[in-house]
DNA sequence: TAAGGAATTTGACTCATATCAAATTCGCCC
DNA sequence: GGGCGAATTTGATATGAGTCAAATTCCTTA
């Protein structure tokens, strides 16, 4: 009377992933059977730099940060992984050491699908292979996009773009930051101070109204322009 | 008497790619049959931002730069693709617009494998699927590594790391830049001026000796330390 | 081999963002 | 409901790298 609820949890989470959408019922059942459910406390290390990753993690609840460490104590969050998102794919075929630490930001539940299961599935189920390739391509695309933003756009631009991306629809006028501002800042590649000032600037200019983590987008139009319009705007 | 030499060229280039290592002889022959050979003059556009990519490109000779464009005219080279390297994989399953321009840096020969061919091959040949996933993971890993360098390490550090990476063996004492310094600079995420100063700095400190594009690594030890040892070093 | 243009280097100066420091405010737990 | 520690904001200052400009050096092409 323990395995059953666990399987149900895994089932629910995994079934929702795009990755398994096109997998046959049978093969999917096998994945669920081999999946394990894990729980981490806020602050606990899920995976450590340089160490092997056991497989694919899917977040059931809570949040995990994937963080890079620089020469000094400097940190940069590569990705904040929330419910129904996954991480660990990169390490599936790891010949290189893992570059980042994965840390639970709050109490977090994860579903772990062992690497072996997935490797087998690639050979067995062509649909899955296709799905996996597609999802890796998507991740790669997102990464390039992030890379571009970090390298080529200013702090306020990045923030504006992020706020836009949080809004589900083009009309949605209210978004909620999924984590502490300090973390969002690190995710966007800036310090908490710069983040605070950039958000303050948008508020002063009347583009948004801020109330804690809840942010009202007052002027999507101008916000969109802020995404492109660098600090330098040609009049 | 035109198809034959072309096929031979494609065969040679494609056979060398890790991607096709584990593909059966038959399937590989089919890939070669469907591949096309293309030639570009220095400066010509191979693929354009926002437009569809027809498939996977493998460089036979020459070099292609993949460049991102910022708000202003700012550019950043994501990757310099040389002989026996490939690009265009990301776009295989593209739902998002292509983010970068691909431009021939010198006169360049490319082998194009149509996307459809590869998509079919995934379904047909499980070994290929595995290889493709592996190669995407590797690309992703390289990208994270680049991301870390750009975000968390200083210009001189990045240059030192790059020089190290150019050296085939840990003993090799002489490396040659694969392209103009201006391009290498953009690849490393800095301006040509900063590149020049950083390299000058390494030379002044006796870590390297520079003669045009040929660079002698005088002190691999200290160079290695320069990779980590940020501007701030704790004594 | 000379001329012309590109690539590279060097110098002076600017700017966006990081740092350091301190004041406030927010969220919880008892 | 008050008090503590964490999160956030705000101010002052420092700095790495970009920008602009000009001097040189390298390659090619004629």
In Å, how far is B138's CA from the nearest CA of chain A? 8
Contact between residue B38 and residue B102 where contact means Cβ atoms under 8 Å apart: no
Average pLDDT over residues A130-145: 93
Q: For residue range B51-80, list pLDDT tens digits in order.
A: 989 999 999 999 999 999 876 667 899 999
DSSP codes of every residue in A54-65: -EEEEEEES-EE
- Give the total residue count for chain B: 235
Tell me, what's the pLDDT at B231? 44
> For residue A137, which phi and psi values (nearest 5 degrees)?
-60, -40
Contact between residue B115 and residue B56 where contact means Cβ atoms under 8 Å apart: yes
CA–CA distance, A192 with A196 (Å, rounded to integer) = 6
Q: What is the dihedral of CA A221, A223, A228, A231, to 10 degrees?
A: 130
* 10-residue averages of pLDDT along chain B (235 residues): 58 92 94 94 93 94 93 84 94 83 95 94 93 93 95 96 92 92 97 98 95 94 81 35
Residue A181 CA to C30 C1' — how many Å?
27
Mean pLDDT of chain A: 90
Q: Is B63 helix (H, G, I), strand (E, B) or coil?
A: coil
Query: CB-based contact (8 Å) between B210 and chain A?
Result: no
CA–CA distance, B94 with B113 (Å, rounded to integer) = 16
Tell me, what's the pLDDT at A217? 96
- Within 10 angstroms of residue B123's Cβ, the number of other Cβ atoms is 13
Name the one residue in this structure whose structure tokens are 């292979």.
Answer: A129
Q: Is A141 helix (H, G, I), strand (E, B) or coil?
A: helix
pLDDT-derived band at A232, boundaries 50, 70, 90: very low
Is pLDDT at A6 greater than 70 in this prediction?
no
CA–CA distance, B7 with A183 (Å, rounded to integer) = 53
Q: What is the pTM of this model?
A: 0.90
Contact between residue A175 and residue A65 where contact means Cβ atoms under 8 Å apart: no
> Pick from B134, B143, B155: which is nearest to A68 by CA?
B143
A140 Rama sector, left if φ>0, alpha if ψ -120 to 50, beta otherwise: alpha
* A69 DSSP 8-state letter: E
Nearest to B93 among A76, A92, A133 (CB): A133
Contact between residue B231 and residue B154 where contact means Cβ atoms under 8 Å apart: yes
Sign of the torsion angle spanned by Cα atoms B214, B218, B221, B226: negative
Distances (CA, A) of B151 to A121, A216, B188: 36, 30, 11
**Which of 153-192 (B) contact A at CB < 8 A?**
153-154, 157, 189
Sheet with A101-104: list strands edge to edge: A45-47, A101-104, A64-69, A75-81
CA–CA distance, A153 with A142 (Å, rounded to integer) = 15
Tell me, what's the pLDDT at B235? 26
Tell me, what's the pLDDT at A71? 67
Residue A154 CA to D11 C1' — how many Å?
22
Sheet with A174-176: list strands edge to edge: A174-176, A214-217, A208-211
CA–CA distance, A219 with B30 (Å, rounded to integer) = 54
pLDDT-derived band at A226, boundaries 50, 70, 90: confident
Tell me, what's the pLDDT at A190? 97
Tell me, what's the pLDDT at A229? 65
Query: Which residues make beta-bridge pairs with A66?
Result: A79, A102
Token pair, residue A139, equals: 């991740």
> For residue A51, which phi and psi values (nearest 5 degrees)?
-100, 160
Tell me, what's the pLDDT at A186? 97
Average pLDDT over residues A125-130: 93
Q: What percent of chain A has pLDDT over 70?
A: 92
List the nucleotides on chain C closer than 7 A to a protein CB. Answer: 7-12, 15-21, 26-27
Average pLDDT over residues A192-201: 98
Mutate to test the interface with A, among B50, B56, B70 (most CBs of A within 10 A): B70
Is pLDDT at A188 greater than 70 in this prediction?
yes
Average pLDDT over residues A81-102: 89
What residues contact A231, with CB distance under 8 A and at least 6 apart? A154, A156
Binary contact (A143, B147; C-beta < 8 A): yes
């Amino acid at each position: 009377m323990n395995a059953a609820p666990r399987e149900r949890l895994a089932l629910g989470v995994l079934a929702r992933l795009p990755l398994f959408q096109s997998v046959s019922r049978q093969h999917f059942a096998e994945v669920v059977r081999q999946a394990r459910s894990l729980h981490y406390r806020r602050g606990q290390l899920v995976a450590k730099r340089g160490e092997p990753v056991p497989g694919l993690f899917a977040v059931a609840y809570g949040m995990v940060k994937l963080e890079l460490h620089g020469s000094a104590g400097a940190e940069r969050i590569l990705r904040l992984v929330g419910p129904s998102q996954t991480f660990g794919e990169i390490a599936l075929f790891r010949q290189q050491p893992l570059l980042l630490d994965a840390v639970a930001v709050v109490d977090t539940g994860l579903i772990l699908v062992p690497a072996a299961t997935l490797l087998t599935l690639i050979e067995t189920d062509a649909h899955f292979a296709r799905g996996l390739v597609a999802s890796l391509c998507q991740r790669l695309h997102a990464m390039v996009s992030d890379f571009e933003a970090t390298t080529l756009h200013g702090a306020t631009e990045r923030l504006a773009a992020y706020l836009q991306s949080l809004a589900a629809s083009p009309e949605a006028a209210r978004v909620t930051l999924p984590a502490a501002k300090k973390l969002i800042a690190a995710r966007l590649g800036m310090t908490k101070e710069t983040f605070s000032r950039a958000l303050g600037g948008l508020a002063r200019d009347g583009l948004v109204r801020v109330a804690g983590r809840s942010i009202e987008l007052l002027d999507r139009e101008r916000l969109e322009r802020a995404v492109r319009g660098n600090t330098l705007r040609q009049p």
